[in-house]
Amino acid sequence: MGNHPGRAAQSPAAPVDAGRRTLLQAGLFGSLLLAGAGATAALSGCARRSESTSQGFQFLRDADLPLLHAIVPAVLGSMLPPAGAERDRLVDDLLHRIDLSGYRLGAPAQKALGQLFDLLNLRATRWALTGIGSWEEATPRQMQAFLERWRGSSFGLLVAGYRALVKLVSGAFFGTPAGWAAANYPGPPPGPYQVFNS
């Protein structure tokens, strides 16, 4: 019972690259992941986590922003308004909420999240693990394929990555007025709210 075939193996529709599965089973990616992107970054001469945070952010780096600009719409889909100023404002708000979530984490969780971002930002690991060449050019279909692959992976670390990304984005969104509306949540009871806040 402790072992499971994974979602992908159960549903033939999910795209699974047989070669990659073999690699995962052989543990090559396992050791890569376990060593963390820190090692990869060092090998490629790109120890990015030591970079300073992006302007206006306390946790996110410049390199994290394209990734998040791709992940936010992939998680929220048509809950985001169509392209325009309203959407830009909301996405900017969400990025700052995600940044604050990262900033408030303890050192070990910050390190793990930073490694996840690094893994997704380095071209080689991104390509191998998500099939995506660049975040700026990723199509919605590619993003969905990436999230499905991670969600269905028999490799716990990828599933953990899926869960972390989805939680960061949906946790941020459903804390906003737009998220409340999407959830048909009327907000705190208006009578008492008025009483406390008048």
Contact residues: other proteins, CB under 8 A: 1-7, 10, 74-79, 97, 100-101, 103-109, 112, 144, 147, 151-152, 156, 159-160, 163-164, 166-167, 169-176, 179-180, 182-185, 188-189, 192-193, 195-198
**C-beta of 44 vs 159, nearer to other proteins:** 159
Contact 71, 146 (CB under 8 A): no
**C-beta of 87 vs 151, nearer to other proteins:** 151
Q: Kindly list the distances between the CA atom of residue 111 and the CA atoms of 59, 77, 116, in Å, as whole numbers in the listed order.
A: 11, 28, 9
Query: What does DSSP assign to residue 14?
Result: S
**C-beta of 44 vs 111, nearer to other proteins:** 111
**C-beta of 45 vs 52, nearer to other proteins:** 52
The nearest distance, CB 28 to other proteins, in angstroms, is 20
Look-up of token digits 């590619």: 142
The nearest distance, CB 40 to other proteins, in angstroms, is 20
The nearest distance, CB 83 to other proteins, in angstroms, is 18
> Alpha helices of the chain — where are they, by DSSP H?
7-10, 18-26, 28-43, 64-76, 85-104, 107-121, 123-130, 140-152, 156-173, 177-182, 190-197
Long-range contact pairs involving 176-180 (C-beta distance under 8 Å, separation at least 24): 176/90, 176/93, 176/94, 176/97, 178/79, 178/81, 178/90, 179/79
**C-beta of 44 vs 180, nearer to other proteins:** 180
The nearest distance, CB 15 to other proteins, in angstroms, is 16
The nearest distance, CB 176 to other proteins, in angstroms, is 7
Return left, alpha or beta for 69; rule: phi > 0 is left, psi -120 to 50 is alpha, else beta.
Answer: alpha
